[in-house]
Structure 1
Amino acid sequence: MITPDVLVIGGGPAGLTAATELADRAAGHVLVVDREPAAGGIPRHSDHTGYGLRDLHRVLTGPAYARHLVRQATRAGAEIRTRTMVTGWADDHTVDVTSPEGRYRIRPRSIVLATGARERPRTARRIPGDRPHGVYTTGQLQNLVHLHHRPVGERAVIVGGELVSWSAVVTLREAGCTPALMISQYPKAESYAAFNAAGRTLLRVPVATRSRVTRIIGKGRCQAVELEHLDTGRRRTVACDTVVFTGDWIPDHELARAAGIALDAGTLGPLTDTALRTSRPGVFAAGNLLHPVDTADVAALDGRHVAQQVIGHLHGMPRPADGVRLVADAPFRWVAPQILRPGDPAPARGRLLLWTDEFVRFPQVTVRQDGRVLARRTLTWPAAPGRVFRVPSGLLTGVSPTGGPVRIGLR
């Protein structure tokens, strides 16, 4: 039995940043466990630039960013154990662990779940057809290329138009594979306009919008995909030996589910308040486990935010009374966090995070409670599918702590 003060499960940006803050603030023995051979999370095998802008105020490649976070946590005094997997719960405050050193248990005073998110593979998307080689998610592709230095194919189709989709394009080009086509179900690719324009002009990748993959073709190795236009129903076949499914994120919530922690029906991650408490006392959550999926630096800032709340718990701060639920109205799919309690801090960066299924260039956000409009504001940035939409938490100022659910929508 190991008894650290804080156990952080997951060694990605959120978990490592939380560990650094906790160790810096003398929270006692801070232990980070990660099932991978090295800590750092997804950035470890995302060998392109663009990491660290919001948390470090500089730009690094993914591997450099991962190494920096590991160094920070280690220098602060946190202990990091890799190849260490939490397999279950012995009781409400004790977890079972398996590692090369054997099986053991950890009973901390507080736990931070920072297990992140993953892309849904082809099987979870129910794409029919053959079962050939050459079909990946972005994570599988980057792991194969950047960590194992293996070849992929010669001509690829990318399913999805999110930021991570362009990351897949860069990885394919580095592996010597030509990205032939990107496919998006929306009227425009989900990524930021600057990335879409650069992708079309510099990377020379055409984008088929309002389209979906209806079949994968190939015996042994992928040979083609069949596409359908969602508006006309017209189908065509595109030759390729590689297919990369990008985006369509789901949180790695198995541990939360096994613990009986309440999950949010929208995000499928743990239900949390603005202090990032879960429904189990002493158990907190941070990063893309809560909002699948945001950028690595935003996940890191979640880790910084949750550290102060964990310290409050360690010092005996009582759990506040029941709060008010925040509910996302269509076209929003989810909002995070989902509970507003009196006396709690504002959410990380003073922002609520939402996910929309429709593109709105000049969104007017409305906040309602008990049939009354509490706030209405037109924001200068668009609400777009495939990326997180940020709303200032100051719009919640007029919420009554004794009222009904608070509904956040678009006029």
Structure 2
Amino acid sequence: MSTNGTVLTPTVLIIGAGPSGLRAAAELAPRVSGEVLVLEREGVAGGIPRHSDHPGYGIRDMGKFIDGPKYARILREQATAAGAKILTNATVTDWAGERSVNVTMPDGRVRVDAKVVILATGARERPRPARLIPGDRGKGIYTTGHLQNIVHLKHGKVGERAVIVGAELVSWSAAMSLKHVKCKTVLMTTEYPKADAYRLFSGPGKLFFGTKVATRTRVTRIIGKPNVQGVEIENIDTGQRRIVDCDTVILTGDWIPDNELARAAGVDIDPVSKSPVVDAALRTNKSGIFAIGNMLHPVDTADVAALDGAAVAEHVVNYLRGERPAGAPLSLTADAPFRWVAPALLRQHDPAPPRRRLLLWSDTYVPFPEVVLRQNGAVIARKRLWWPAAPGRVFRVPSSLLSQINWNDGAVTIGLAN
């Protein structure tokens, strides 16, 4: 039966059924009058975890240590048990109004008019063209998401020898998927002087997979067609190049938010992270439009994204009660070596951000960073942290640092002590 011409009118529309969207649905459905509707373009809700068939999920949000598919299933069950409605194979194509979207599904098009829209569309890895890697266009080049879709959802095969571009958390996830189909990871490459992943992962990972991590290196050419036969690796410091034989190349990390809908709505976008600009309550500059999860901090772990979903519920309920932010916000920007910070807007009477943390991305490794907050060029707060700022993973700073802000004294920056 065709649904063309149908108009759905939920109270809350959530676009994206990954961990953040599903957790937001589970929290909101019992608390709002009317329907909470979740739209997911894939055939099954759950996001990236549903095809990450290895443990490591649910630690911060569920107190569990489970595999990705089980984690995704629990999130789906919690959302539906709470009363949320999930529509899969539902692609939002464009906006039909301030909080209204057009949706294409297999049996036709519908319009959804909501009082609140939550953008939970996540992030994706940049493909080869966006990374400007030259060479042949042979078969056997994948992102992690593409690889895991083939291996864990379609039960397909790849090659026998792989080079993984990147050495962060998702890179080891790719290595586990490769091992599942008996493809040996012969090398990981990273431009940084240290492996990007937590030592808890990279240390045992090297032993378990028998994998070497080549630091301060990059792929300068992919060789082979119609199938990949190898890659050329360059040492960034010496310029020396060598050929590594492989039939599979996995492009990991280098994340970009799925921000197309946010842009189309006129939501302010951070020029560096390409994420929607939000305040601590996860509000965008468009009234009634919130943004959560890894589209704001590309990319953090799934459980942290899910906790964004838990945090946004209170703010959405307050919005539906008529509460609106008071006063003009101050901007918070990142100084080198930090690339971006979220949230990037600060309001005097806002609550603390999710998990009472500011989230940043660092371009250099700093073992015990002293973080400083500056306003009008003067240091107003500082804090020594006992965990490193490292490329390839989100750096978390206690938001208590913000308590020293003078709310009448202009923009604020966050960086490191000289």
Residue 180 of structure 1 pairs with residue 180 of structure 2:
no
How far, CA to CA, are the matches of 1:134 and 1:21 in structure 2? 41
Following TM superposition, by how much is the alpha carbon of 1:209 offset from its aligned partner in structure 2, in angstroms? 0.7
Q: What is the aligned partner in structure 2 of residue 167 from structure 1?
A: 173
Task: Please give the alpha-carbon distance, in whole angstroms, between the structure 2 residues aligned to 1:224 and 1:60.
Answer: 35
Q: Secondary structure at the match of 1:215?
A: strand
- Cα deviation for residue 401 of structure 1 reads 1.8
2:58 is equivalent to residue 58 of structure 1 = no
- Asked whether the 8 Å contact 1:27–1:311 carries over to 2, the reply is no
**Whole-angstrom distance in 1 between the partners of 2:333 and 2:327:** 19
1:129 alignment partner in structure 2: 135
Give the C-alpha shift of residue 227 in structure 1. Answer: 0.7
Aligned in 2, Cα 1:375/1:27: closer, same or farther, shift over 3 Å?
A: farther
How far the C-alpha of 1:27 sits from its partner, in A, is: 4.5
2:218 is paired with a residue whose SS is strand
Pick aligned residue for 2:35 from 29, 33, 45: 29
Distance (whole Å) between structure 1 residues aligned to residue 40 and residue 340 of structure 2 = 28
Deviations 1:140-171 (A, max 9, x none): 00000000011100100000000000000000
Preserved CA contact (<8 Å) 2:230 2:245: yes
Match of 1:246 in 2: 252
What TM-score comes out, normalization by structure 1 length? Answer: 0.99
Residues 137-176 of structure 1: pairs in structure 2 closer than 5 A: 137-176=143-182
2:374 corresponding residue in structure 1: 368
CA contact (8 A) 1:85 1:97 kept: yes
The structural deviation recorded for 1:115 is 0.1
Q: Which of residues 84, 107, 110 in structure 2 aligns to 1:104?
A: 110
Q: How many residues align?
A: 411
- 1:302 counterpart = 2:294: no
Distance 2:407 2:15 in 1: 32
Q: How does 1:35-46 map to 2 (within 5 A)?
A: 35-46=41-52
What residue is the counterpart of 2:364 in the other structure? Answer: 358
Is the Cα–Cα contact under 8 Å of residues 151 and 175 in structure 1 kept in the other structure? yes
TM superposition shift of 1:318: 2.1
CA distance in 1, matches of 2:409, 2:228: 56
Q: Which runs of 4+ in 1 moved over 4 A?
A: none
The answer on 1:210 being equivalent to 2:198 is no
Residue by residue, what CA displacement relative to the aligned partner does 1:40-70 show, whole Å, maximum 9, x if unpaired? Answer: 0000000000000000011110000000000
**Which residue in 2 is equivalent to 1:339?**
345
Partner secondary structure for residue 387 of structure 1: coil
Find the residue that maps to 2:124 and give its secondary structure: strand
Q: CA offset at residue 218 of structure 1?
A: 0.6
On the 8 A contact 2:11/2:32 being kept in 1, the answer is no
SS across alignment from 1:390: strand
Helix, strand or coil for the counterpart of 1:298? helix
Query: Deviation of residue 190 (structure 1)?
Result: 0.4
- Partners of 1:380 and 1:54 in 2: CA distance: 20
Residue type at the aligned position of 1:37: G
Is residue 6–residue 29 contact of structure 1 (8 Å, CA) maintained in 2? Answer: yes
Question: What displacement does 1:101 show?
Answer: 2.5
- Counterpart-to-counterpart distance in 2, 1:253 and 1:375: 33
> Is contact 1:362–1:382 with CA below 8 Å preserved after alignment?
yes
TM-score by length of 2: 0.97
- Whether the aligned pair in 1 keeps the contact of 2:230 and 2:243 (CA below 8 Å) is yes
Shift in CA distance, 175/27, structure 1 to aligned 2, threshold 3 Å: farther
Whether 1:390 and 2:396 are equivalent positions in the alignment is: yes
Q: How big is the shift at 1:371?
A: 2.1
- The answer for the alignment partner of 1:69 in structure 2 is 75
What root-mean-square deviation, in Å, do the aligned CA atoms of Structure 1 and Structure 2 show? Answer: 0.8
SS at match of 1:355: strand
